[in-house]
Amino acid sequence: MSAGRQRTASPPIAGSATSDFVVVANRLPVHPAEPPSRAWEPSPGGLVPALSGVLAGRDGVWVGWSGEIGPRDAPGTHEGMRLRSVHLTQRDYDEFYLGFSNATLWPLYHDAVRTPTFHRDWFHAYRDVNRRYAESAAQVASFGGTVWVHDYQLQMVPRLLRELRPDLKIGFFLHIPFPPRELFLQLPWRHAILDGLLGADLVGFQVPGAAANFSRLARRLSGAKGTTSSIEYDGRTINVGAFPISIDSARFVERAQDPEVRARARQIRADLGDPEVVLLGVDRLDYTKGIDNRIRAVAELFADGTLHPSKHVVVQVAVPSREEDDHYVSERRHLEQIVSEVNGDHALVGRPAVHYLHQSLLMDELVAMYLAADVMVVTPFRDGMNLIAKEYVACRTDLSGALVLSEFAGAAAELKGAFFVNPHDLEGMKEAIVRAMTVAPREGRARMLRMRRTVLRHDVHAWASSFLGALARSTGRPRAIHAVQPSAGATANG
């Protein structure tokens, strides 16, 4: 055992409000509004609704970064949750977030769709920021409490937190894919990442294949023993499993049935010229989402006459993402050039072939888009889950609509009524789009019914309950617990 493993536990800060349940995620559920406002707004993304109800019901604490560089704290509470800010400097943001998290781990974990970059300084920043998150969690968790750590930015937190607080029950969930051996072995700091994850009592993934990848690597590289679902390491038992995340299905159903939202959907179709078919893509602007290949496929369908702008309309929403990163600036320019070429070649006056929106949508506008679309096209090269596909299905309360879905999205394991595609295969993608557009009504309803049953039954609340139930049942415990005062330099705000 290393010297670091012999550190004793840091108890909660004396006199501070602690909680039996703590969530640790890269971002808090709030972010600063655009300057000059000093207000705070709810953060977008699926994790916030996924966890807000769980935290509020348990008087929990959410530990994370506010999204603002510098020492400014987020509000102390938000919608019944207590918040604890971890501060990032500009260097932290550049090296921990843009660097190691998103230029090293993100591409590596997504099948190396783009070549990952390996820099020692970035890894050092990643380790140091992970330690800051762990120290913050250690100071707000009650003795014997539960801490749930989330995603690829914080893979070293479980081990660092266990060194500080061996009394805690620690769970970790990875929202993105976990790579196979031949990719993960490229990472120079592979042992440190695996050791970090093995600090948890339960390590969760979106799909069984990712869980199996992790278990095999842990046994090969760390000397761990066991099976895919149970690993013996460092005198402890670590459970491993798949827990596919979902959405707040009831909320999407409720918005989809709202008369004003339905009226907005009709208006969207009217604004598009009342076409026979609306094909929709909604993605975060990211090179893993396969948007360019999707646009190329529809371009070929326009070119061969299968699609015609007087009858068929494509709407692509590209939600802004990591706009400070040069790679994402380049991706935006690349995509906008492709869209421009398609419209230049195939649009009619007043009838673009592809309507392109580079913007975020409020929930009601997004739901109206889902209702207006006859075919939802979700074709990532690799995705941990993809909640957009599930949101579309939840909104189709009349069982209309069709889903074209990449077989490399985690959601493909559950949404068996979709038309599956290999996003690298343009011919196959074209065929799937045409099949979805022309599916017989009876078959289309049966497919959508099958998918809706899955999405409504396995919602986000069932996901959280499943993971936390498995974590509560986990039995791995350290051999001894000794509480001491927090180490010097562990500040109240991390």
Give the residue ranges of DSSP H helices in 6-58.
Answer: 47-57
**303-307, long-range: CB < 8 A, 24+ apart:** 303/345, 303/346, 306/430, 306/434, 307/353
Contacts of 250 (CB under 8 A, 6+ apart): 456, 459
- Please report the pLDDT score of residue 81 as a whole number: 86
Q: How far apart are CA 278 and CA 14, in angstroms?
A: 59
Q: How far apart are CA 94 and CA 430, in angstroms?
A: 40
Q: In which band, very low, low, confident or very high, does the pLDDT at 44 lie, cut at 50, 70 and 90?
A: low
Q: What mean pLDDT comes out for the span 146-175?
A: 98
Q: In which band, very low, low, confident or very high, does the pLDDT at 15 lie, cut at 50, 70 and 90?
A: very low
115-125 tens-digit pLDDT: 999 999 999 99
- What's the longest Cα–Cα distance across the chain? 74
336-368 tens-digit pLDDT: 999 999 999 999 998 999 999 999 899 999 999
Domain range 249-457, CATH architecture: 3-Layer(aba) Sandwich (3.40)
- The CATH number of 3-245+460-473 is which of 3.40.50.2000, 3.90.1150.10, 3.60.110.10, 3.40.50.11540? 3.40.50.2000
Is residue 1 within 8 A of residue 47, CB to CB? The reply is: no
Give, in degrees to the nearest 5, the angle at Cα 161 between 160 and 162: 95
Q: What mean pLDDT comes out for the span 453-478?
A: 89
Q: How far apart are CA 11 and CA 421, in angstroms?
A: 51
Q: How far apart are CA 452 and CA 279, in angstroms?
A: 20
Q: In which band, very low, low, confident or very high, does the pLDDT at 34 lie, cut at 50, 70 and 90?
A: confident
- Please report the pLDDT score of residue 489 as a whole number: 31
Burial track 355-379 (b if 16+ CB lie within 10 A, e otherwise): bbeeeeeeeeebbbbbbbbbbbbbb
32: phi then psi, degrees, rounded to nearest 5: -70, 140
Angle of helix 259-271 relative to helix 249-256, nearest 10 degrees, comes to 70
- Which of the 8 DSSP states describes residue 153? G
Contacts of 130 (CB under 8 A, 6+ apart): 154, 155, 156, 157, 160, 196
- Please report the pLDDT score of residue 437 as a whole number: 98
69 bridge partner residues: 88
284-317 tens-digit pLDDT: 999 999 999 999 999 999 999 999 999 999 999 9
Burial (CB < 10 A; 0-12, 13-18, 19+), residue 224, is: middle
Q: How far apart are CA 283 and CA 389, in angstroms?
A: 10
Contacts of 218 (CB under 8 A, 6+ apart): 194, 197, 198, 224, 231, 233
- Please report the pLDDT score of residue 1 as a whole number: 39
The overall average pLDDT reported for the chain is 90
Beta strands (DSSP E) in 91-168 are 141-150
- Fold equal for 3-245+460-473 and 249-457: yes
Q: What mean pLDDT comes out for the span 54-71?
A: 87
Q: In which band, very low, low, confident or very high, does the pLDDT at 31 lie, cut at 50, 70 and 90?
A: confident
Give the residue ranges of DSSP H helices in 273-395.
Answer: 291-303, 326-346, 363-372, 387-395
386-402 tens-digit pLDDT: 999 999 999 999 999 99
Q: Which helix (H) or strand (E) holds 442?
A: helix 441-457
Locate the domains of the chain by residue range. Answer: 3-245+460-473, 249-457
Structure tokens at 98: 């843009």
What is the Cα Rg of the chain in Å?
A: 23
Burial (CB < 10 A; 0-12, 13-18, 19+), residue 427, is: exposed
Q: How far apart are CA 453 and CA 494, in angstroms?
A: 43
Beta strands (DSSP E) in 407-455 are 419-421
Return the residue matching tokens 């709202």. 258
Q: How many CB atoms are closer than 10 A to CB 215?
A: 23
Tell me, what amino acid is at 143? F
C-alpha separations of 220 from 36, 156, 191 in Å:
53, 19, 10
Q: What mean pLDDT comes out for the span 128-145?
A: 97
Q: Check whether 482 has a pLDDT greater than 80.
A: no
Is residue 6 within 8 A of residue 131, CB to CB? The reply is: no
Say whether the peptide bond before residue 180 is cis (omega within 30 degrees of 0): no
234: phi then psi, degrees, rounded to nearest 5: 55, 35
The bridge status of strand 19-27 relative to strand 141-150 is parallel
Q: Check whether 322 has a pLDDT greater than 70.
A: yes
Q: Is 407 in a helix, a strand, or coil?
A: coil
Contacts of 116 (CB under 8 A, 6+ apart): 103, 104, 105, 106, 107, 108, 186, 187
Tell me, what amino acid is at 89? T
